[in-house]
């Protein structure tokens, strides 16, 4: 009988040690997991004493390495976070300004593990909020850009279907529908092109493109924007082809040239150059002697719908998406847009390509 009791006790002790070993192994795995994730993880008790935290939490919240055993309120001075974690009921995530980077926004989520332990998961949502703001602005800008021509078209159509209006007036309005409809069509086409540039992968094999042909075609496309006194000249100093996508490069050149025309007064003098920089690189440049761009605008001109309002410009006809398209086309061709400009002295837009 005593032998059986001793055996049972040994079995229990063995099982207890085995369970402790498995628990320690799981805790090590959990600790490793919390260290590799980008989110900050902080474990606290009901007195808001930190029992554990990972490196991400130390980075996001500015915790010292020896934060275990310290009060959360002593480690960071964010009253809203302290009030948030004191509550026992499940809550929506809390957004608050980073205690170490005032231009960053953090989000905290609270999980009640048991009656004595809580887990705070913190992540940086600065980029996410910025993207959300950009999306909201984009929708608002598209709505604004479409509202004006739609209002014009609606007004014309209401007059045209009004049987009490003179026939001569109703017929004269037909030709006036062309401009607002064309504006909406251009906007939709540019939006579709931007979507394609952002969503479609770059083809593994590109075609050999003769940029001189592309430049000539682009110049022909912008002829409708030119005034009688405007002048466009082409300087060709490179006959080597580049690898690229013909339609996208045509859009690139068309938008750069039309941008130069729109931001120049009548009598624009625009020079398009395609020149060799070396045996392996060539540069496309568009230079104008127009009204120029102030320094504070240069970093933003490739944003969607961002316009530099100049009283002497002819920019009213654009969709506000041209340079955004240019930026995305260049990214797909491993290049970037560079700009040099001074107010009242003109602008130089250029980009380099591998030959």
Digit-coded pLDDT (tens) for 65-99: 788 888 888 888 888 888 888 886 667 899 999 88
Work out the pLDDT band at 318, boundaries 50, 70, 90: low
Mean pLDDT of the chain: 84
Q: Is the dihedral of CA 307, 313, 316, 319 positive or negative?
A: negative
Counting residues of the chain whose pLDDT is more than 90, the rounded percentage is 30
Please give the Cα distance from 109 to 96 (Å, whole number).
11
Please give the Cα distance from 308 to 302 (Å, whole number).
11
The full set of domain ranges for the chain reads: 2-127, 201-354
More confident residue, 48 or 131: 48
Q: Is the dihedral of CA 53, 59, 61, 63 positive or negative?
A: positive
Residues 106, 124: contact at Cβ < 8 Å? yes
Which two three-digit tokens encode residue 262? 């729109």
Work out the pLDDT band at 19, boundaries 50, 70, 90: low
Has residue 255 got a pLDDT over 80? yes
Average of pLDDT values for 200-213?
A: 91
CA distances, 206 to each of 86, 248, 337 (Å):
59, 12, 21
Which CATH number does the domain 2-127 belong to among 3.90.1150.110, 3.30.450.20, 3.40.50.150, 3.40.50.720? 3.30.450.20
62: left (phi over 0), alpha (psi -120 to 50) or beta: left
Average of pLDDT values for 116-126?
A: 88
Please give the Cα distance from 55 to 44 (Å, whole number).
16
Q: Which of 80, 120, 118 is nearest to 99 (CA)?
A: 80
User: What does the pLDDT read at residue 262?
Assistant: 86
What angle is formed at CA 123 by the lines to CA 119 and CA 129, rounded to 5 degrees?
Answer: 140
User: What does the pLDDT read at residue 27?
Assistant: 47
More confident residue, 128 or 284: 284
Q: Spelled out in words, what is the top-level CATH class assigned to the domain 201-354?
A: alpha beta
User: What does the pLDDT read at residue 314?
Assistant: 47
The enclosing H or E element of 351 equals strand 346-354
Digit-coded pLDDT (tens) for 256-307: 999 998 888 888 889 999 999 998 999 999 999 888 888 888 888 898 887 7
Please give the Cα distance from 92 to 268 (Å, whole number).
58
Strands 117-124 and 231-237: unpaired
Average of pLDDT values for 302-313?
A: 69
Please give the Cα distance from 355 to 123 (Å, whole number).
44
Q: Do domains 2-127 and 201-354 have the same CATH topology?
A: no
Query: How many Å is the Cα radius of gyration of the chain?
Result: 32
Has residue 245 got a pLDDT over 60? yes
User: What does the pLDDT read at residue 31?
Assistant: 54
Which two three-digit tokens encode residue 332? 């797909």
More confident residue, 258 or 8: 258
Helices 246-262 and 322-332: crossing angle in degrees, nearest 10, is: 150
Digit-coded pLDDT (tens) for 20-55: 556 455 545 555 555 667 788 888 888 888 888 888
User: What does the pLDDT read at residue 241?
Assistant: 93
Asked which of 55-59, 170-174, 203-207, 308-312 is least confident by mean pLDDT, the reply is 308-312
Work out the pLDDT band at 1, boundaries 50, 70, 90: low
């Amino acid at each position: 009988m005593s032998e059986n009791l001793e055996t049972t006790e040994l079995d229990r002790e063995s099982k207890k040690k085995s369970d402790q070993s498995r628990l320690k192994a799981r805790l090590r795995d959990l600790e490793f997991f919390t260290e590799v994730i980008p989110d900050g993880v902080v474990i606290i008790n009901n007195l808001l004493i930190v029992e554990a935290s990972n490196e991400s939490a130390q980075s996001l919240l500015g915790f010292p390495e020896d934060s275990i055993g310290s009060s959360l309120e002593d480690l960071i001075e964010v009253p809203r976070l302290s009030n948030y974690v004191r509550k026992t009921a499940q809550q929506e995530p809390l957004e608050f300004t980073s205690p170490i980077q005032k231009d960053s926004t953090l989000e905290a989520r609270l999980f009640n593990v048991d009656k004595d332990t809580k887990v705070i998961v913190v992540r940086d949502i600065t980029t996410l909020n910025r993207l959300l703001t950009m999306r909201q602005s984009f929708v608002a800008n598209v709505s604004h850009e479409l509202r004006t021509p739609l209002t014009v078209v609606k007004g014309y159509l209401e007059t045209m279907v009004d049987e009490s209006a003179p026939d001569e007036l109703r017929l004269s309005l037909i030709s006036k529908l062309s401009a607002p409809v064309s504006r909406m069509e251009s906007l939709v086409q540019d939006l579709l092109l931007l979507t394609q540039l952002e969503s479609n992968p770059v083809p593994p094999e590109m075609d050999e493109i003769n940029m001189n042909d592309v430049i000539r075609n682009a110049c022909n496309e912008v002829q409708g924007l030119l005034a009688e006194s405007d002048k466009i000249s082409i300087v060709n100093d490179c006959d080597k082809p580049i690898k690229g996508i013909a339609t996208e490069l045509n859009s690139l050149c068309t938008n750069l040239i039309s941008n130069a025309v729109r931001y120049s007064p009548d009598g624009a003098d625009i020079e398009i150059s395609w020149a060799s920089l070396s045996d392996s690189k060539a540069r496309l440049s568009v230079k104008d002697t127009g009204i120029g761009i102030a320094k504070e605008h240069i970093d933003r001109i490739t944003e969607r719908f961002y316009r530099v309002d100049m009283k002497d410009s002819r920019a009213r006809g654009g969709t506000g998406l041209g340079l955004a398209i240019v930026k995305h086309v260049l990214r797909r061709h491993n290049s970037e847009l560079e700009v040099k400009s001074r107010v009242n002295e003109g602008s130089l837009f250029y980009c380099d390509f591998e030959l």
